[in-house]
């Protein structure tokens, strides 16, 4: 049996591929909405955040023989916990991550993290659109919200906890765009125009994360982009294609049959 970290559309597709290959899997996601999406396609799911100790306990108690981590490229904590949990339980860990892309353009500033992104944005001023989600919103509000000649527009999922977080941080209601993607280039362009955006902040989430659509719309409109690089984690066995993951799983279980 395989414990599978999911939550994104490509992770869901990979989970189905692994299941269709004949393996029993349990997917894990953080939100109820993501859990419903897993159940819709017939995947068993556990909803909730897991510490490294939780992973270890679950692996041992339920007899999982491997972990496949297909969580979001920026779900750094989840990946680190899964790595530690797998190591402590003595089972193989396999990472699937969307292929990284190279972004070289004079309109794009690459930064190492959220804090640096906020600092660069503070220097630029103007109308800044955040497309980085709610998790790190506090970093940006702390640095940008009271800056002169600066307006911050936050685009995020339309969830109750996100709205409560915005209220707690003092984020103006008129500057919240609560909506769920994926979005086309045309939609992104219309949104930028509506708010008069001069700088857009995004993460290097990969093609499946709809970064291209955001980026192309911004570049065509002459909007500067601040792009946050992916976390640097030593995963060990990592793949950016389904075939690589499935081949590795097959090797693991073929070896177990030989033992």
- Mean predicted confidence (pLDDT) in 175-194: 94
Positions of E strands within the chain = 2-5, 25-29, 45-47, 66-69, 93-96, 108-111, 126-130, 150-156, 176-178, 199-203, 224-228, 237-239
Give tens-digit pLDDT for 156-170: 999 999 999 999 999
The average confidence (pLDDT) of the chain is: 91
d(CA 10, CA 97): 9
The set of residues, in sequence order, having a beta carbon less than 8 Å from that of 247 and lying 6+ positions away, is none
pLDDT digits (tens, 9 = 90+) for 65-88: 999 999 988 888 999 999 999 999
Spell out the alpha helix ranges (H) of 96-136: 114-124
For the segment 59-70, the average pLDDT, to the nearest whole number, is 96
Cα–Cα distance list, 223 to 94, 127, 131 (Å): 38, 10, 14
pLDDT in tens, 200-253: 999 987 765 578 899 999 999 999 999 999 888 888 889 999 999 999 999 998
Query: Of the ranges 5-14, 34-43, 97-106, which one carries the lowest mean pLDDT score?
Result: 97-106
Is pLDDT of 256 > 80? no
Say what the pTM is: 0.80
pLDDT for 39 equals: 93
Q: What pLDDT is stored for residue 171 in this prediction?
A: 93
Mean pLDDT of the 43-54 span:
94
């Amino acid at each position: 049996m395989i414990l599978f970290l999911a939550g994104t559309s490509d992770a869901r597709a990979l989970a189905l591929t692994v299941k269709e290959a004949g393996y029993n899997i349990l997917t894990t996601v953080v939100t109820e909405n993501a859990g419903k999406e897993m159940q819709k396609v017939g995947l068993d799911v556990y909803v909730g955040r897991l510490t490294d100790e939780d992973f270890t306990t679950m692996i041992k108690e339920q007899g999982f023989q491997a972990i496949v981590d297909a969580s979001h490229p920026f779900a750094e904590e989840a990946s680190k916990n899964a790595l530690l949990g797998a190591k402590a339980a003595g089972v193989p860990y396999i990472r699937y991550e969307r292929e990284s892309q190279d972004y070289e353009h004079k309109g794009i500033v690459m930064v190492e993290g959220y804090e640096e992104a906020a600092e660069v944005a503070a220097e630029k001023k103007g109308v800044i659109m955040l497309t980085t989600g709610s998790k790190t919103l506090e970093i940006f509000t702390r640095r940008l919200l009271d800056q002169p000649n600066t307006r911050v527009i936050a685009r995020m999922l339309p969830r109750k906890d996100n709205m409560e977080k915005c209220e707690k941080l003092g984020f103006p209601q008129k500057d919240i765009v609560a909506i769920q993607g994926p979005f086309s280039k045309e939609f992104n362009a219309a949104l930028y125009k509506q708010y008069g955006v001069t700088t857009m902040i995004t993460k290097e989430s990969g093609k499946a994360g709809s970064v291209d659509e955001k980026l192309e719309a911004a570049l065509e409109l002459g909007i500067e982009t601040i792009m946050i690089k992916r976390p640097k984690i030593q995963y060990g066995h990592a793949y950016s294609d389904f075939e690589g993951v499935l081949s590795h799983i097959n090797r693991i279980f073929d070896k177990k049959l030989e033992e």
